[in-house]
Amino acid sequence: MITLDLTLPDAHYPIHIGRHLLAQVDLLKPHLPIPSVAIVTNTTIAPLYLELLEQALRSAGVACRSIVLPDGESYKTWDTLNLIFDALLAGNCERKTTLIALGGGVIGDMTGFAAACYQRGAPFIQIPTTLLAQVDSSVGGKTAINHPLGKNMIGAFYQPRAVIADMALLDTLPDRELSAGLAEVIKYGLLGDAAFLGWLESHIEQLRARDPDSLQYAVKRCCEMKADIVGQDEKESGVRALLNLGHTFGHAIEAGLGYGEWLHGEAVAAGMVLAAATSHELGWLSEADVERVVRLIERAGLPVKAPNLGPAEWLRHMGHDKKVEQGKLRFVLLKQLGQAVISSDVGPEILQRVLTGGHITA
Ligand code: NAD
Ligand code: GLY
């Protein structure tokens, strides 16, 4: 097991990465203010892993209730969030009851938001079960639900007490979901580490084949980068925005097609291609650089062409992006491969060319 530390001005927490950590209650127990937890999970993950976690906790003297939500991005809503509050209140859960998110990014984001709100703040722990959640969403304290008009628009910054990334849980993850997680992995190489990007280019097949050492290295490297960035800028007033590479386009795809139609990672993948194409239009990336991005994303089993939403729909959805300032769109773009920047220099002609060009489905 590897343990990283995420250090913030007024808090710090461990990120444990290894195999078969789920039943290791000694990793959880030090973070429980009272021996009582509510595990939040979904109908797909519960039959696979819930009993193991519950049994381990109960045998360590921890009172345990479970809240099993419907599965899917389309359920990342107020109504589902209320199911968590209903269960916590019906079970007389106290403010010191720890919420445990056992799931992917959808469960993690909703449980974290519920914890931020329940009795004005209950402790919570992330046990991410997808690659995407292990490399990105479980770390850093962004929590949210979707609104029909915009992705992750209602939420809070609220940090977990610990993150436990059990790589063995990925054994049951469908291939399509593994690829979706690889989109966020590639994002880290593109935005800030050219050497890691090169490593990904030579290990992408091992990652897709779930080679344990390659997967663990990728999770560790991404969590190191994320912990470093969040440590510098917890509330996204600067450098943290770089973690949104591909997301301005990606969130528009998710909202434009309807949540759950494309997976989040798939939308980010096609969004990163559009960000690379925009960077090329600005004279920052060469055609060969863009081709390198396309090739790696394709080899990861991800879409490289975005759906054709039509320019007006693209702009409408991108207008709800959280990076918009005084009505102006701001994009995360690539000065070079391995170096991202925030830019508000993308004029309407460039945007028009990118959104009607060769990286959009005909
Ligand atoms: P997800 O949570 O929907 O999980 C994907 C699917 O895999 C689901 O059907 C789930 O039930 C299933 N699953 C999960 N773990 C499994 C396992 N071990 N075995 C078998 N099936 C399993 O999707 P995701 O890709 O993990 O997360 C996407 C969400 O994360 C989006 O809502 C996105 O906005 C959010 N996100 C948040 C952050 C953040 O910083 N908070 C960062 C990136 C993404
Ligand atoms: N996934 C983007 C962030 O955590 O800031």
Is 120 a catalytic site residue?
yes
Q: Tell which residue, 82, 91, 101, has the closest CA to residue 39.
A: 101
Residue 325: pLDDT over 90: no
Name the residue with the closest Cα to ligand 2, atom 3.
243
Q: Is 247 in the pocket of ligand 2 (CB under 6 A)?
A: no
221-251 pLDDT, tens digit per residue, is 999 999 999 999 999 999 999 999 999 999 9
Instruction: Find the catalytic residue in 177, 184, 254, 281.
Output: 184
Distance, CA of 261 to CA of 185 (rounded, Å): 21
> Over 90: is that where the pLDDT of 362 sits?
no
147 is catalytic: no
Mean pLDDT for 252-261 is: 93
d(CA 283, CA 278): 9
CATH superfamily of 175-355: Dehydroquinate synthase-like - alpha domain (1.20.1090.10)
Quick check: pTM over 0.95? yes
Active site residue 16: no
Taking Cα atoms as reference points, which of 346, 362, 13 lies closest to residue 165? 13
Q: Which of 159, 177, 185, 262 to mutate for ligand 1's pocket (most ligand atoms within 8 Å of CB)? A: 177
Is 142 known to be catalytic? yes
How far CA 142 is from CA of 95, 112, 159, 229, 324, in Å, comes to 20, 8, 8, 13, 18
Q: Is the pLDDT of residue 284 over 90?
A: yes
Would you list the domain boundaries of the chain? Answer: 2-172, 175-355
Confidence of residue 327 (pLDDT cuts 50, 70, 90): confident
pLDDT digits (tens, 9 = 90+) for 173-228: 999 999 999 999 999 999 999 999 999 999 999 999 999 999 999 999 999 999 99
Query: Which residues lie closer than 8 Å to 171 by C-beta, 6 or more apart?
Result: 210
Mean local confidence (pLDDT), 303-321: 92
Identify the CA nearest to 246 among candidates 256, 254, 258.
254
- Residue 225 is predicted with a pLDDT of 98
pLDDT of 20 above 90: yes
Q: Is the pLDDT of residue 149 over 90?
A: no
80: phi then psi, degrees, rounded to nearest 5? -70, -40
CATH fold, domain 2-172, is Rossmann fold (3.40.50)
What average pLDDT score do residues 118-127 get?
A: 98
Confidence band (pLDDT; 50, 70, 90) for 320? confident
Per-residue confidence (pLDDT) for residue 148, from 0 to 100: 86
Q: What is residue 146's three-state secondary structure?
A: strand
Q: Pull the structure tokens for residue 194.
A: 């050219």
Cα-based angle 257, 304, 339 (whole degrees, multiple of 5): 110
Q: Give the residue from 231, 91, 181 showing the smallest Cα distance to 99.
A: 91
pLDDT at residue 153, as a whole number: 93
Q: Say if ligand 1 is within 6 A of residue 104 CB.
A: yes
CA distance 288 to 300: 18
